[in-house]
Structure 1
Amino acid sequence: MTSGVSLPEDLPTVWIFHRDGARFASGVFASRADGLSWAAEHRLTGLLTEYPVGEGSYDYAVSRGLFRPSKPHHGKPGHVVDFSPSLDHVHVVDGAVD
């Protein structure tokens, strides 16, 4: 299952694998297929998410009108650091797409 926003084809992105609740990402890949292959090889469970290169997720979303700050905490450090890019992503369970 995938969802998210379609990106301009010239915008560079990477795919990052992150286990639920993990403090650090465990892999960064040039393509969705590479990330899924790696997750399958190691039978991993987590989320493989596409991120824009060179711009934080919060700034990316605000600058493109994908998110409009409307509450006092929007744009504060805690909100920015937890902000999801809302780009393409896929849930993986035991190495298979869920």
Structure 2
Amino acid sequence: MQEATFVWVLMCGSRFSCGVFSSRELGEAAIKKYGLVGTLTQYPLDSLTYDWAIEKGLWEPRKPHETEPRFIGRFTSRSKHFRYGHEGDDKSESPAQADE
């Protein structure tokens, strides 16, 4: 299998992203330029995050609802997930999970 290519998606409080970047540094530059508050997350191209996390051994479904469309559609691996401008942020990586 070919090594995954990634993009960085910036979410700033909307249901839709406000930017997609080829590197974390470019995303952080946009955040700094406009003083944005949001989350910058790395996502694999051409794959569901759910499938990618399972293939990489980062997560596996253990409960029946974890294989259902609603769960899969809300899943994020958060393997590279950084928050900016939020009080108490440590910009650290977070474990895999679905946003409920």
Q: Aligning the two structures, in what range does the TM-score lie when normalised by the shorter sequence?
A: 0.7 to 0.9
1:15 to 2:8 alignment? yes
Out of 71, 77, 91, the residue aligned to residue 79 of structure 1 is 71
Task: List aligned pairs for 1:37-52, cutoff 5 A.
Answer: 37-52=29-44
Task: List aligned pairs for 1:31-42, cutoff 5 A.
Answer: 31-42=23-34
Q: How many residues align?
A: 86
The gaps in structure 1 that reach 5 residues or longer are: 1-9
Which residue number corresponds to residue 94 of structure 2? none
Instruction: Give the aligned CA root-mean-square deviation in angstroms.
Output: 1.7
TM-score (norm 2): 0.77
Which residue number corresponds to residue 96 of structure 2? none
Which residue number corresponds to residue 90 of structure 1? 82
TM-score (norm 1): 0.79
Give the letter for the 1:40 counterpart.
Answer: K
The gaps in structure 2 that reach 5 residues or longer are: 92-100
Which residue number corresponds to residue 59 of structure 1? 51
